Amino acid sequence: MNPDPTGADLEVQTARPLNLIALLSDSRRGLTKEQIKEHLQLGSDAVFEELKAEVRGWLGVEILEEDSRYRIVDRGYAMPPLDLTAAEHTAIALALREWSGSDVGEVAEAASAKLAPLGGGQEDVSPGLDLTIYQAAPGAAEILAGIADRRVVEFDYRTGYSGRLGRRRVEPWHLTKRAGAFYFAGWDKDREDKRVFRLDRVDGKIKLTGRADAFDPPAGQARQYLYAALERGQGEPARLRATPEAARVLVLEGGVALPDGELSVPEADPFRLAGWGGAIEVLAPDGLRQAVRDCWIGVERSHQGAARPVKPYPVRRVSRVRRTSVRHRQRAVRLISIISYLNDRDWVTLDELASAFGVDRDTIRADLDMLWTRVGRGEAGGELVDFVFSDDRSEVTLTDPQGLGKPVQFSRVEAIALVAALRALKAMAGLPEASAAQTACEKLEAAIGPVDQADVELPAAPPALGSLRQAIESQRRVRFTYVKQGGQFGERLVDPVGLFAAPDHWLLVAWDLGAEAERYFRVDRLTDVEILTQSAQRHPYQPRASGWSGRGDLLVDLLFGPGARRRALDLETAVPPLALKNGAIQAKVAVDNPEWVTRLVLEGGGSVELLAPPEMRQHVRLAAQAALGSS
């Protein structure tokens, strides 16, 4: 197929998967490959095979081949009845946001479109709650596709903080998002052993190779192996001394104050502890103490002398081929779902259709026009999907679905992504949507079978989360005491805007009336929360996705080594980042707090270097020297 179609060519390619389903649904005996190629004007066997893959991968429809004839039966096409309630629809909509911001978000959007025709209504998702993970996670969709189709994936992988690059061929088994990072387990074909890989250490694109169903993952063992490997990699509990300010923050974030004035920090990570600099002293265990010192030594050494020159940043470009391919796929899913949505209803307004599928009215009109002129058993014979519009064209009813009136199944990837998101939501005991997520998950797995190839871990709900949700939904002003990262604390008066799940904690987005600016507050550092009778006001700003403002007068250029790529990918940068040939990333960020930058570099342990401005580079070096001198 044309890799970058436009105009009429794009409409033909978008309609082809639907037309193939309509064609085969109308034939009890099925059709030969040559009959299908002639009817749909397919130029080659390769185009036919690609079209079959689209029908299966995008629309979840299985095409059976028997005696050189192809056909579709209900069990390979229609979604089983789900009978979802409005609350369950709402829980699903909220859960699917967990994948937003990653490339699996496109998969989640397709699953959402297929759910729209299934009835039950849909309650409004709370405007104050967002489970978006806000991580690009490049390659996650390819790994999920490999897991779903049981296909081998190939990629270049950088091992640990050494940055050593090697080619891997893996049979992927299970994907998880945990503590802000994506991991997947599988069988390394070259090393002939099971392995766990961290997705942000994959360099370049992940390629799916070979045929589908090429291997059988270990039944019921993949997830256990992955989790056991991650548990072994967790840091040891730390015993440490800290300044009163640092101790205040560490206790709020899960540390335990000991009777002798020391602290115990569970699952301590040496890189995070290193970010505190001279504010802490690690007492035990010895291995952790040395690891933290090694971080500071690495920072001090990497910041000796003048920095290397800052390389010019690239101009942001969006791949036209990828953008067209995504639009092509998303529209095909929406088109077939529109038919099944209308098939079970009489007259439907265009506004209702637009709302159900999350698009505007003009898009729905264009979709209906395309269905009317392009989709069915053949343009030449005029056997196409047909509608009747009201006199003012504000309502529409379906008169001929051309065999496309049943809700289509989830693809394997969509089922995996949806069930993983629902399981994460149902595990959140502090959220009222958790019970609806559980029943929705049970109904889905009863209809499509057990699904356990991926999971997403959300941060635990802190005590103040419920009160803040209530304030946002009632649009009330809030007063609370907040402890900053440095340990300083004070009372804040805010107009709350929203809550969202960052990689390992919850954040409140609010307008700080004292600062007269937007601010992001870690919910686990809030105390004495009071909902006031005053109404919250609207303010002219747009919250940033990453959970920090990404704004400020200080522009800083940072170099992230191959082992610290994830840190760069999680940032919102002032300009597009520059990817270097050795796997490093150069990024420019705008901040309003120099200490935030210092902490980021100290946590890098030498794998993050501050290039400019020179005075900030010197400040970081002095902070590392001070930490070494006090430990």
Angle at 454 between CA 416 and CA 431, to 5 degrees: 90
Q: How confident is the model at residue 619 (pLDDT cuts 50, 70, 90)?
A: very high
With respect to residue 500, please indicate whether it lies within any of the assigned structural domains. yes
Side-chain half-sphere exposure of 368, counting CA atoms within 13 A: 27
Using the predicted structure, report yes or no on whether residue 235 has a pLDDT greater than 70.
Answer: no
Count CB atoms within 10 A of the CB of residue 45. Answer: 11
The torsion of the CA quartet 442, 444, 450, 456, rounded to 10 degrees, works out to -80
For 511, half-sphere exposure in the C-beta direction (CA atoms, 13 angstrom radius) is 16
Tens of pLDDT along 479-514?
999 998 888 889 999 999 888 887 778 889 899 999
**Cβ pair 557, 310 in contact under 8 A:** yes
Q: Among residues 223, 96, 201, which one has the least CA distance to residue 138? A: 201
Q: How far is CA 198 from CA 105, 268, 525, 571, 574, in A?
A: 19, 19, 30, 18, 26
Over residues 583-601, mean pLDDT: 90
Bridge partners for 481 per DSSP: 491, 527
Q: How confident is the model at residue 3 (pLDDT cuts 50, 70, 90)?
A: very low
Does 33 reside within a domain? yes
* Among candidate residues 508, 535, 562, the one where a domain is terminated: 535
- Give the model's pLDDT for residue 350: 95
Residue 550 lies in a domain: no
Q: Give me the pLDDT at residue 546, please.
A: 47
Instruction: Work out the end-to-end distance of the chain between its first and last CA atoms, rounded to an integer number of angstroms.
Output: 63
Contact in structure between 63 and 55 (CB atoms under 8 Å): yes
233 found inside a domain: no
Describe the crossing of helices 105-115 and 140-149 by its angle, rounded to 10 degrees: 60
Among 512, 535, 558, which residue terminates a domain? Answer: 535
pLDDT higher than threshold 70 for residue 624: yes
For the stretch 25-50, pLDDT in tens is 878 788 999 999 998 889 899 999 99
CA dist 589 to 23, 549, 550, 606, Å? 54, 10, 7, 19
Ranked by mean pLDDT, which of 92-101, 158-167, 323-332, 349-358 comes out on top?
349-358
Q: What is the CATH number of the domain that holds 530?
A: 2.30.30
Best CA proximity match to 141, nearest among 179, 186, 172: 172
Helix (H) or strand (E) holding 615: helix 614-630
Strand 526-535 relative to strand 554-560, pairing = unpaired
Query: Domain boundary at 519, 535, 551, which?
Result: 535
Q: How many structural domains is the chain composed of?
A: 2
Q: Are 461 and 428 in contact (CB under 8 A)?
A: yes
**CATH code where residue 25 lies:** 1.10.10.10
Kindly state whether residue 395 falls inside one of the protein's structural domains.
no
With 90 as the cut, is the pLDDT of residue 200 above it? no
pLDDT (tens digit per residue) in 323-354:
556 678 889 999 999 999 999 899 999 999 99
Token readout for 538 is 């609207």
Q: What is the 3-state secondary structure (H, E, C) of 441-485?
A: HHHHHHHHCCCCCEEECCCCCCCCHHHHHHHHHCCEEEEEEEECC
**How confident is the prediction for the chain on average, in pLDDT?**
86
| pLDDT confidence bin for 158, thresholds 50/70/90 | confident
Instruction: Give residue 93's pLDDT.
Output: 87
Question: How confident is the model at residue 517, as a pLDDT?
Answer: 83
Residue 160 lies in a domain: no
pLDDT tens for each residue of 303-330: 999 999 999 998 765 444 445 566 788 8
Average the pLDDT over 559-586 and give the result: 83
**CA separation for the pair 286, 279 (Å, rounded):** 18
pLDDT at 327: 76
Contact at 8 Å (CB) between 520 and 508?
A: yes
* 471 within some domain: yes
Cβ(572)–Cβ(611) under 8 Å? Answer: no
Look up residue 39 and give its amino acid. H
C-alpha span between 435 and 422 (Å, rounded): 10
- In 210-267, the DSSP E strands lie at 238-242, 256-257, 263-265
Residue 61: domain span: 1-77
Q: Confidence class of residue 526 from pLDDT cuts 50, 70 and 90?
A: very high
10 Å CB burial of residue 167 (0-12, 13-18, 19+) is exposed
**Which of these, 605, 606, 568, lies nearest to 589 by C-alpha position?**
568
pLDDT band, very low/low/confident/very high, at 51 (cuts 50, 70, 90): very high
Distance, CA of 123 to CA of 436 (rounded, Å): 12
- How do residues 267-283 score in pLDDT, each as one tens digit? 778 888 999 999 999 99
Phi then psi for 473, rounded to 5 degrees?
-70, -30
Domain for residue 93, yes or no?
no
Which residues lie closer than 8 Å to 451 by C-beta, 6 or more apart? 415, 416, 419, 420, 444, 445
